[in-house]
Amino acid sequence: MRPATWLVPLGKWVAQGIGFFFVLTIISFLIVQLAPGDAVLSMLRIDTVAVTQDEIEALRNELGLNDPAWQQYVRFLGGVLQGDFGASLMTGKSVMGELSKAFPYTLMLAGATMAVVIVITFVLGGLAARFRGSLVDKGVAAFCTAGAAVPTFWLGLLLIDLFAVRLHILPSSGMATAAGLVLPTVALAIAIAPPYIKILRNSLIEASGREFVRAARARGVTESVIFGKHTLRDSLIPLVTILGVSLGSLLGGTVIVEVTFGIPGVGKLAVEALARRDYGVIQAFIIVVGMAIFVINLLVDLSYRALDPSISLKGAERA
């Protein structure tokens, strides 16, 4: 029964998605409830305006911040279900509008980083596996150790110093042109790539020793075909798993790089919102990024089925 084969996992994913969404709304709501302070002091410009405690409380009442928690949650959930996270307390503009303006920058950075990571991983991982035990392998291992050890912000500053300050070939910050994407992408990619390189190298070495590879070689199949059709494919599953997870975490994890390079992405937006206690933005950030990570993991799950048909078959058997 083929429809049942697909409907059951689809139903599971939808149920998981809905459940995860509600968990996210509760978490994001509780985080804000438990966090100290609110945006009222910022809104009243307490740094430059002499306000009284009475004025602070009056504004809290007006914004409903003193209402019981359940009332605030119901109000919050009602808005979220309509895709309305309210207005940013600091800008007066739609929270979703603020996020949608910032998301392209982070997506660009995350996408470019993943592309560079994939290139570096395949080139260096492939070379290390191919020249196992050689100077090349050791060189790649040294690169991995250095990349994993160097703090991203420090690497970012070094890159700025070299390419912007000394060589004047790339801008020191901002993304006014595509050139602005180069240094943050390189900084992030160098920090992120090492585990993938290691995983691919080890997987390739492991796969190259498997029986089906030896059998193919014995049949006289060329090395490039063995690599493309057998070794590489067999090595991709662990890599795709970790790459998928990383893409999700990259969406929320580019904060330091975004701040260092002045990139107006969601990470920077969230940090600024935290500093200003603009909790609507923070709640939307948690839910949107959380759901994005859920969808990415779902796609990773689907990609297993494409890479390894036995997973689909097992699922079908269980169904």
Count Cβ atoms below 10 Å from residue 124 Cβ, excluding itself: 24
Binders of another protein in range 119-148 (CB under 8 A): 119, 123, 126-127, 129-132
Note whether 261 binds another protein by CB under 8 A. Answer: yes
Return the residue of 8, 32, 44, 255 that touches another protein, per CB under 8 A: 44
Q: What are the C-alpha distances in Å from 102 to residues 113, 126, 184?
A: 17, 36, 16
Name residues whose C-beta falls within 8 Å of residue 46's C-beta, 6 or more positions apart in sequence: none
Q: What's the rounded Cα separation, in Å, for the pair 113 and 60?
A: 42
The residue to which tokens 């070094």 are assigned: 158
Q: How far is the CB of 167 from another protein (least distance, A)?
A: 9
Q: How far is the CB of 79 from another protein (least distance, A)?
A: 20
Q: How far is the CB of 234 from another protein (least distance, A)?
A: 15
Say if residues 281 and 273 touch (Cβ distance below 8 Å): yes
What one-letter code names the amino acid at 226?
I
Q: What are the C-alpha distances in Å from 248 to residues 116, 181, 239, 299?
A: 16, 19, 14, 11
Return the residue of 182, 221, 237, 311 that touches another protein, per CB under 8 A: 182
Note whether 53 binds another protein by CB under 8 A. Answer: yes
Rg (CA), the chain: 25
Q: How far is the CB of 218 from another protein (least distance, A)?
A: 14
User: Which CB sits closer to another protein, 25 or 208?
Assistant: 208
Q: What's the rounded Cα separation, in Å, for the pair 193 and 238?
A: 14
From the list 66-74, 158-166, 282-290, 311-319, the region that binds another protein by CB under 8 A is 158-166
Return the residue of 1, 2, 48, 317 that touches another protein, per CB under 8 A: 48
Note whether 202 binds another protein by CB under 8 A. Answer: no
Residues that bind another protein (CB under 8 A): 36-37, 41-56, 59, 88, 90-93, 101-102, 105, 119, 123, 126-127, 129-132, 157, 160-161, 163-165, 168-179, 181-182, 205, 208, 223-224, 259-262, 264, 272, 276
